[in-house]
Each structure stands twice: as C-alpha cells, then as structure tokens.
Chains A and B, each alone.
Chain A
Amino acid sequence: MTARLELIDIHKRFEDTAAVNGISLALAPGEFFSLLGPSGCGKSTTLAMVAGFLEPDGGEIRVEGRSILHLPPQARRIGLVFQDYAVFSKLTVAENLAFGLEVRRVRRAERRRLVHELAQRLALTSILGRRGGSLNMSEMQRVALARVLITNPELLLLDEPMSNLDAEVRASLRGELKRIQQDLRQTVLYVTHDQVEAMSMSDRIAVMREGAILQVASPDEIFRAPAHRFVAEFIGDPPINMLPATVEGDGSSRIARLPANWILPLGPGELAEGAYLLGIRPHELMLSAASGTGTAAGIVRFLENLGAEHVLHVELGDMLIRVSARPGSARIGEGVNLRTQSWQGLLFDARTGNRVPVRALGAAA
C-alpha cells in the first residue's frame, strides 16, 4: 500500500521552546523520505505528530488529501517500526507477524493467508517457526517490517531503527531495507541522525536544524549543492573543510584569499567582493609536488588511516584542513603543498550561512 503524505506548516512547542517551527513537506506515493538532523532538531517530534502520539499546536497533516489530525494513533493506518526492531523474542516469527492482525480481530484463516503471503515476499517462509530470540539482525529487521506491513499501512514510519546496532550490521541492513521498500512501493518516513543512512536509502532528504527544514532535495543534490553551510557540514565523512575567504578581484575575474596566504583563483564570474565561507570537501583537495599560485603550504599534524585512503589533517595557519589522500602519500610532521582538484565551488554567505550561487566559477581551480 502506498499513499501521499502532506505536512502543512506544522508547529509544536514544548513549554518555552519551539520543537517544530512551521515545517511543510509532501511525500509522493512510494517515496523513501528521510528527516535528517542532530539530536533535538525536531525530527522525532515531527514523526510523533504524524503517528498521532503528539498533537501539533498548528498546521495540518494529510494522507491522500484527507486530514488525519482528529484520528487517534490506532486509527491512522500507519506502521511504526521501533528502535532495535523490538521483535517479541518469545513468540515465533509467524506469531510475531500475526500479532497485529490478532489485535485487529482478523479471522484465523485470513491471518494465516496474510502471514504466508507476506512471508514469501520478505523471504521469511523458511523461518516462520523460529522464535524471535534466535534471529540474526537481518532476519529481525525483516520480521519487524513484516509485522508492521501485514496490517497494510498507508505509511511506514521508522525512528532511528538502526541507531544501537554495530556499524557493520547497519551497513548490510540498509540495502535490504531499501530493497524491500522499493519492492513494495511503500511510502516511508525515516528519521535518523546518521547521514550515511539517509544518503544511501532516501529518494529525498529533509535536513533539519532547530525545528526548521534547511533543505529538501535528493541525496545527490544535498551533497553537491547544499543550501546552507550547516547542510554542507552535516553531510560527508570526512567532513567538509569550511575556510574563511575574502573574495577580491578586478574586472570580472575573482580570487579568494584564504588562510595562510592561500590564494585561490576563482576565474571570471558574477560575485560581490567581501567575506565568505569557502567549502572544500577532503576529496576535492590533493597534494601537489609544486608550490606556487593556487597552492598552500602546510604541515601534516594527524593522520587517520581508513585503509583504502588516509585522511591527513594539515595545519594551515591556525586551521586544520582535512585532505583525502592515497595511503603512503605523506607522513606526520611532513610539509606538504595543497591544491584543489575538481572543486565544486561551494561558497556560503559568512553571515547567514546560505549558499551563494556561483556561475562559471571553479573551472579555473
């Protein structure tokens, strides 16, 4: 089952803090949509309002165009998957699946039919007789999803379901969850603070901060063209470097003056002179053999060995700049020259943090 979800100008206050401050969203049927942000940004509050556990102070929530605000949680036809999946360990997989149907007084024959139908789709048929406590994490996730999906919800809500799991397990569950969602064309609202989860599974992501949405876009666009410096800094591991930059120039050509006398030619373009923040992702920097225009000299202070690559922390003036480098390209204490490589041209207003669209810039770098 798949449905359209709309949130229109939702507000929610807790005492004197605005937890959610006027957010509007529209999820297309069958879309995997993530709310991404740090603790306390209002993402879980938003989800709780959609589920019906909290009542918004203002605004409207609609499923398929009809308001659901007056409905209690159990009447909303929403499936909610809990943290760590919370599969009943004493019940068998079949009993776990049938649980929601029993609560809804579905007849026994019908229950059995639905359980087997869904078990087949989620590859659970062979483990229907096993107890919840004996499952591995992948099976557990499928059982948790199946237990909710069996009641045919219009909307599936997931609130940080993987946050307490080992990193390695999380990686394998992501692909599986996405595949099930696509296979069933289920509308999903997914809440997480983990950018990797949001990036890898979502059709679109809303990045939230302090109760407001900073950007709604596809993962690709969020990464390539973040609307705000907060979005840029939240997405990407290792994180983006944010350098104070002074843009100067004569005629139509512009340069950016960065710390440690690093001068980055920006090429010709429409750009007001003044103070900016310049975002360079670690993989957009490389070590250069030659020094000279467009390069900056620094010293490698720390080295993070990630196996396939090394993240160098290069001291540049009083800043540490992260650079992705091939293993073995520099050692701690070594002096290196940095230069940009396929820089995307991310510039942010130093005061508001909003991205400044730059046309025809970056080509020179």
Chain B
Amino acid sequence: MTALEVRDLTKSFGKIRALDDVSFTVPTGGFFTIVGPTNAGKSTLLKTIAGLHEPDRGEIIISGRRVNGLEPRLRRVSMLFQNIALFPQLSGFENIAFSLRAAKASESEISQRVGWAARLLGIEPILNRLPRTFSGGEQQRVAIGRAIVQSADLLLLDEPLTNLDARIRIGLRIAFKQLHHELGQAIVYVTHDQVEAMSLSDSVGVLNSGRFEQIGSPDEVYHRPATRFVARFIGTPPMNFIPAELGSEKGEPALIGKNFSIGVPELRRLERVPDRIELGIRPESIEVAPEPGPATPFPVEVKWIERLGARSVVELALGGVAVKAALPTGQVELETGAAWCGFRPQSHHILDSQTGRFLR
C-alpha cells in the first residue's frame, strides 16, 4: 500500500512550467523529502498534492484513491505552510483545534488532542495567547501542532525550518524525526537545505526546474549521484569537478589531468568512451599534506583555509583548477602555499561532460 502516488504531474503558470512530468511514490509511513533550489517548483508540487492548485495533467493518488478534482478538505492531507499561515484572530489552542472543530469533534476529544500536541511540542503555556504574541519558534510549533492533530493519511511540510535561527533549526531537525517516529504518518517534506534532506528522510527527490533529477535514498543521492546537478547540490562543500582525459598507465586505463592521474580499471569494460570527461571528487575524499607521500602524490597550492570548528575547508589549486577539500581540524597542520594532495581510493566519480551524467 502506498500513501501517495504522483504520476506525470504537469503544471504551468502562464508560460512558466512549474512542474514537468513529476512522478514519485511514498510508501505508508515513509518520509520523502523534496529538495531543490529556490523556484524549483517544490511548493507548487505540495500545494498541487493538497488540492490548492489543479494540475494541467497527471494523477495524484492518496491511499489508493485518485484525488484529482477533489476539494482539499476531502483529500485526507494536512499541511504546514512555508509562511506558517496561523489564523491571527484565533488563539494558539483554537489554531490547533481548527480542523477538529471543522470536523465537529466533541469538546472532550478536542481538548484531549490539542493537549497531546501541545505537550509533544512544549507549547502548553502559549495556548491561550494570540499568534501576534508568539516568537518565531512558537509560531512554527503551533503551526506544526495544527498540522499533526488533523487526522490525515499524509502530512505535507513546506520548508518548516527555513527562516528560523540556525540553532533552533538544528534542534527542530531531530524533533521532526522523533515526530515521524511517533506519528507513523507518511510525510512529504520540502526543503532547500540538503542537510535536512539527507538527515531526515528515507528517500530524497532532487527537484530542479520542475523535474526530478534523481530519486533515491540519502546514500544513493550522495554516493551515486545521477547528474552533475545532484552531485553539486548534495553535500557541502559540493563535489569538485576536474577536467581529465582517458589514457593509460601501466597498461591500465587511467584518468589523467593536469598534475594528477588515477587508475580507473572499471573503465576497461566500457564500450564507448565519451569525448569529454571530468573527474568528480567529494571534498571529504581529498587528502592534503605538507609533504608528498603515497596517499598524497600530487602537487597543489593551498589558497585558502576556512576553519569551521571540527573540520576545515581547504581551497586548493590543482594544476590551475580550483578544488575544495574538507579535512578534520587538527589532523594536519597546513598553511597557504605549496602542498600535496591525493584522492582516497575508490572515491572518484567519472562524469560525461556532454550529458552531465555519471559513468560511475
């Protein structure tokens, strides 16, 4: 049984195509995250699923029921809006109780359900106040409360952590995971922050200009990105791309670039080699040392060191190409100037420059 199935969804606003043949499924109890840059169509997708936009084409199936054309209130979804959208004239309690009142629930059930959500979210003291007295974090939590007390098959969350202080954001991130654990409800979560996407979900869809570039588990999109876009969007700092040519070294195929070469025995099986290829390498997979060694055979120049506490991001020039490496702080003492680098074994990716897709 799937909680949500979206088939070939297309939606245009005037000349702008916001969603272009979008398809995905969320299993019952699943946590699916849609991640992508601003204006990728993320919010449009959520609002279309909720029934606030009518798609031009495609199907939306919630718990086995086709809901196209159905009013939002009949779709059995609840939603947290990006801008929160609390009812300003209603108290915190009444905001949370809104869907229960609309469903004509009994007074005792309402106070019980709202009480449960308020305890879960730690907002009992503010239930009697109006939204204009809430802090940003309180607004957020009341809105979450309103979304979770509603009995729904699907919970839609639109950028719930954006615009909050960084510190509150990190704390609430794990709260969502706990919430999901507790509710067991299927969740579709929208964010532009790849860290949230990676850390929260069972499955991640990377949306770009209204199309999914890749759908997969966090491990898949991180370790086996399908396209250049995914590789650059997932992971900070993003994956490095270094122009290289295919040659051979000691009888084995090798990727040879300016100041480096690595063996790529896996390419022996390849029938057709693309004309232009690039080496893709994650910053975490690069090692840097002040002296040459077996793990660091390639000469580089250290341009810049960004210290971020537990780790440092080092900007290198490898044969004139700007490359970023991420190193645990304190492991090696580096200074700007000449140094040596190497790539961790089996950590490289090979990109076909023409298609923007990975060979490996």
Q: In the complex, is A directly touching B at CB under 8 Å?
A: yes
* Residues of A near any B CB (own CB < 8 A): 38-39, 163-164, 166-168, 171, 174-175, 178-179, 193-196, 199-200, 219-220, 223, 233-239, 281, 283, 302, 304-308, 311, 313, 320, 324, 327
Q: In the complex the two chains form, is A193's CB within 8 Å of B195's CB?
A: no
Q: How many angstroms between the C-alpha atoms of A282 and B218 in the bound complex?
A: 21
With A168-B37, A193-B166, A305-B219 in contact, is A235–B309 under 8 Å at CB?
yes
A106 CB to nearest chain B CB (Å): 35
Could you tell me the distance between the alpha carbons of A194 and B165 in the complex, rounded to whole angstroms? Answer: 7
Interface size class of B (residues with CB under 8 A): 35 or more
Q: What distance in Å separates the Cβ of B20 from its nearest Cβ neighbour in chain A?
A: 21
Q: Which of A38, A193, A196, A238 contacts B308 (CB 8 A)?
A: A196
Q: Which of A171, A199, A320 contacts B236 (CB 8 A)?
A: A171
Q: Is the CB of B233 within 8 A of A313?
A: no
| Complex Cα–Cα for A239 and B172 (A) | 12
Contacts of A235 in B (CB 8 A): 309
Q: Which residues of A contact B166 (CB under 8 A)?
A: 193-196, 237
C-alpha gap A235/B310 in the complex (Å): 10
| CB within 8 Å of A: which B168-224 residues | 168, 170-171, 173-174, 177-178, 181, 192-195, 198-200, 218-219, 222-223
Establish whether residues A308 and B308, one from each chain, have CB atoms under 8 Å apart when the complex forms: no
In the complex, are the beta carbons of B306 and A305 less than 8 A apart? no
Q: Which residue of A lies closest to B173 (CB)?
A: A304
Q: Determine whether B307 belongs to the interface, using a CB cutoff of 8 Å to chain A.
A: yes
Are A39 and B194 CB-contacts (below 8 A) given A179-B304, A283-B310, A302-B178?
A: no
- For A194, the chain B residues whose CB sits under 8 A away are 166
A164 and B163 in contact, given A305-B199, A307-B222 (Cβ under 8 angstroms):
yes
Chain B residue nearest to A195 (CB atoms) is B166
B292 CB-CB contact with A under 8 Å = no
Task: Output the nearest chain A residue to B236 by Cβ-Cβ distance.
Answer: A171
Query: How many angstroms between the C-alpha atoms of A214 and B69 in the bound complex?
Result: 57
Contact of A304 among B174, B308, B328 (CB under 8 A): B174
Please determine whether B284 and A308 come into contact, CB atoms closer than 8 angstroms: yes
| Residues of B with C-beta under 8 A to A324 | 310
Asked whether, in the complex, the Cβ of B236 is within 8 Å of the Cβ of A193, the reply is no
How far, in angstroms, from A168 to B235 measured CA to CA in the complex? 9
The reply to whether A168 and B198 form a contact with Cβ atoms under 8 Å apart is no
Question: Are A306 and B163 in contact, with the CB atoms below 8 A?
Answer: no
Residues of chain A lying within 8 A (CB to CB) of residue B233:
168
Q: How far is the CB of B86 from chain A (nearest CB, A)?
A: 18
Partner of A175, one of B178, B198, B232, B315: B315
User: Does residue B238 face the partner (Cβ distance < 8 Å to A)?
Assistant: yes
- Does any Cβ of A come within 8 Å of B167's Cβ? yes
B326: nearest chain-A partner, CB-CB: A308
Q: Report chain B residues within 8 Å CB of A302.
A: 174, 177-178, 181
- A219 to B238 alpha-carbon distance, docked (Å): 23
A239 touches B178 (CB 8 A): no
* 21 interchain pairs, CB-CB under 8 A: A167-B194, A167-B195, A171-B237, A175-B304, A179-B304, A194-B166, A195-B167, A195-B309, A199-B307, A200-B306, A200-B307, A233-B167, A236-B309, A239-B167, A239-B171, A302-B178, A304-B199, A306-B198, A307-B235, A308-B222, A308-B282
Query: Nearest chain-B residue to A281 (Cβ)?
Result: B310
Q: Indicate whether B136 reaches chain A with its CB closer than 8 angstroms.
A: yes
- Interface 1/0s, chain B 119-157, versus A by CB < 8 A? 000000000000000011000000000000000000000
Q: Which chain A residues lie closer than 8 Å to B198 at the CB level?
A: 304-307
CB of B219 within 8 A of CB of A166, answer no
Q: Does B83 contact A (CB under 8 A)?
A: no
Nearest chain B CB to A161's CB is how many angstroms away?
A: 15
Q: How far is the CB of A343 from chain B (nearest CB, A)?
A: 13
